[in-house]
Amino acid sequence: MKRSRFTEDQIIGVLKEHQAGIPTAELCRKHGISDATFYNWRSRYGGMEVSDARRLKSLEDENRRLKKLLAESMLDVATLKEALGKF
């Protein structure tokens, strides 16, 4: 996955500027982002504080790790069942 050049802190800062009344087109030009990027950020981080965004990121990382562990254990179980079935 491509890493953003903006941190969560910066993204939330841009969204707060928009809430303060700066038009979307001006914000996008000022920060060098597209309208689509701005609206994606707003849908993902809208209404969040910096601490909320950090918590979201840590939960996503934990979820990714747990999914990987589950997939590995399911693969082990399938391998063992296959090995037992052959004997």
Look at residue 87 in the predicted model and tell me its pLDDT.
62
Q: How many domains is the chain built from?
A: 2
pLDDT per residue over 45-61, tens digit each? Answer: 988 898 998 899 899 99
Task: Name the H helices within the chain.
Answer: 8-19, 24-31, 35-45, 50-86
Residue 53 within a domain:
no
Residue 54 within a domain:
no
Q: What domain range is 12 assigned to? A: 1-48
Find the mean pLDDT for residues 57-66: 96
Please classify residue 12 by burial: count the beta carbons closer than 10 Å to its beta carbon, then call 0-12 exposed, 13-18 middle and 19+ buried.
buried
Look at residue 85 in the predicted model and tell me its pLDDT.
85
pLDDT per residue over 9-48, tens digit each? Answer: 999 999 999 999 999 999 999 999 999 999 999 999 988 8
Cβ proximity of 12 and 50 under 8 Å: yes
Retrieve residue 8's tokens: 């969560």
Residue 83 within a domain:
yes
Whether residue 1 is predicted with pLDDT greater than 70 in this model: the reply is no
Q: Do residues 41 and 63 both lie within one domain?
A: no
The DSSP symbol for 4 reads P
> Which of residues 1 and 86 earns the better pLDDT score?
86
